[in-house]
Chains A and B, each alone.
Chain A
Amino acid sequence: SQQGEEDPQALSIQEGENATMNCSYKTSINNLQWYRQNSGRGLVHLILIRSNEREKHSGRLRVTLDTSKKSSSLLITASRAADTASYFCATAPMVDAGNKLTFGGGTRVLVKP
C-alpha cells in the first residue's frame, strides 16, 4: 500500500510559471524525500527534509513540511521544459525499518515551451 497521496495527479503549465504539488501521508516519519522520474526510468533524488524541519530550499526547489497535518509541498519556480517529469514524494519511517521508503502515486508535470 502507498503511504503518500499526491495532489494533483497531473499538472500542465507554461514555461516560466511555478509548479506546486502536494503530498499527504499517514504515519509518523523520520524524513520526507522528493524524487523526479523522467519517462518511466530511474528516480533522481531531489531533496530531503527531516521531520524537525519546516522548509528547505535547493536551487529552484522549495519544500515545506507540516508534520501536524502530515503533509508536504514541492514548489518548482520558473519552470523549464526540462522539468517535465513525474514527481514523487517518499517517506522514511520514524522507526528504523532499514530505510524503507514509501512512495506516493506521483504528480505528472508537463511544462509547455
Chain B
Amino acid sequence: ETGVTQSPTHLIKTRGQQVTLRCSSQSGHNTVSWYQQALGQGPQFIFQYYREEENGRGNFPPRFSGLQFPNYSSELNVNALELDDSALYLCASSSRGIYGYTFGSGTRLTVV
C-alpha cells in the first residue's frame, strides 16, 4: 500500500508567477484535501475534492484552484503568487465517510 506522494518537495517562485503542486493519493482513497501551513502555525484548509469535484472550500481566494483526476490524484494551482503564499502545502487523502487522513510530506513553497 503506497502512501501520499507530493511533488516537488521544494519550490522557489517569484511574486506574480503561477505554480502547480501535485499529489498522488493513497491507494483506495477517493478524497483529496489541500492544506496550507505557514511557519509556526497549524494547517489551514484550502479545499477538498471528491469524485473530481470541489467538495468544500476554506477561506482562500479564487486564485487558489485545484483539480482531481480519475485516478484520484490532484493538483493545486496558485496564480499571481504573493509573498504571503510562502508556506508548506500539504495534501491529504482519505476514503469518504471514513475519518482520519493520510498526509503527504508536503511541498515547501517560497515566494520571493
- Segment of A13-21, A61-69, A75-83, A100-108 engaged in the interface with chain B: A100-108
B48–A99 touching, CB < 8 Å: yes
Q: Does A40 contact B (CB under 8 A)?
A: yes
- Per the bound structure, the CA–CA distance linking A88 and B41 in Å amounts to 10
- Hey, which chain A residues are within 8 Å of B102, CB to CB? 45
What 1/0 flags go to B100-112 for Cβ under 8 Å of A? 1111111010000
What 1/0 flags go to A53-96 for Cβ under 8 Å of B? 00000000000000000000000000000000000101010000
What 1/0 flags go to B21-55 for Cβ under 8 Å of A? 00000000001010101010111110010100001
- Hey, which chain A residues are within 8 Å of B2, CB to CB? none
- Hey, which chain B residues are within 8 Å of A45, CB to CB? 100-103
- Hey, which chain A residues are within 8 Å of B100, CB to CB? 33, 45, 48
- The binding surface of chain B is classed by DSSP as strand
- Per the bound structure, the CA–CA distance linking A112 and B73 in Å amounts to 40
B101–A101 touching, CB < 8 Å: yes
B residues in contact (CB < 8 Å) with A: 4, 31, 33, 35, 37, 39, 41-45, 48, 50, 55-56, 58-59, 88, 90, 92, 94, 96, 99-106, 108
A residues in contact (CB < 8 Å) with B: 1-2, 4, 30-31, 33, 35, 40-45, 48, 88, 90, 92, 97-106
